Amino acid sequence: MNLSGWFRKFRLENIRLKTPIANVEISFQETDKDAAWELYVELLTRIVTQPLPAEAGDEQTALDSVYSLFPTTREILRRRGRGAIEFSKIAIPVLNQVVRPFTAKWHKESQAGAFSDEAKQQIFRHELGALQESLRNYNRLLAEIAGVEDLTDLESAEENDDATASP
């Protein structure tokens, strides 16, 4: 499958690539799979893919967690090196085109005191929810690259089962 196909398959169509790169067929090597696994675990255990209930959490902490994807991904890329070039072709556009617009906007807003304003907090949480959906799709993509069972919806699936179970 080509790079654009991977993004389409996991509903990350908003990522734009130059045509020659987008049409390149990719085949994942073990180093790519290992890198995908590392980032998959990071995403799976962070607020970036987990719900932030209205009565819980803190907006600044959530923003910091989203921002931490940059150093986490950079470290994985550095450690895995050139052997993870196919993984890099996916991770870098996601950081730059999905995560960066959110963090750039909300870093500036937070510096201006937005998280002291209840209306701004609500807007942040709404936009975080949209980002989380994209990052859950990204996490599903990472699980497929890594060749592991996808647990992205594990807890929300359990909640649905609890809701439909008879007493």
Q: What is the pLDDT of residues 73-129, one digit of tens each?
A: 999 999 998 999 999 999 999 999 999 999 999 999 999 999 999 999 999 999 999
Residue 15 lies in a domain: yes
Residue 79 and residue 39 in contact, taking contact as beta carbons nearer than 8 Å: no
* HEC secondary structure over 13-49: CCCCCCHHHHCCECCCCHHHHHHHHHHHHHHHCCCCC
Distance of CA 159 to the CA centre of its chain: 22
54 pLDDT tier (thresholds 50, 70, 90) = confident
Q: What is the pLDDT of residues 149-165, one digit of tens each?
A: 998 887 754 444 444 44
Is the pLDDT confidence value at 148 over 80?
Answer: yes
Is the pLDDT confidence value at 141 over 70?
Answer: yes
- pTM of the predicted protein model: 0.85
Residue 51 lies in a domain: yes
Residue 26 lies in a domain: yes
How many C-beta atoms lie closer than 10 Å to residue 149's C-beta?
7
Structural domain that includes position 97:
3-150
DSSP three-state, residue 150:
coil
Our CA dihedral for 33, 37, 40, 46, rounded to 10 degrees, sits at -150
Residue 160 lies in a domain: no
- State the total domains in the chain: 1
Residue 128 and residue 55 in contact, taking contact as beta carbons nearer than 8 Å: no
Q: Which two tokens stand for residue 129?
A: 């929810």
Whether the CA torsion 49, 52, 58, 63 is positive or negative: it is positive
Amino acid identity, residue 135? Answer: L
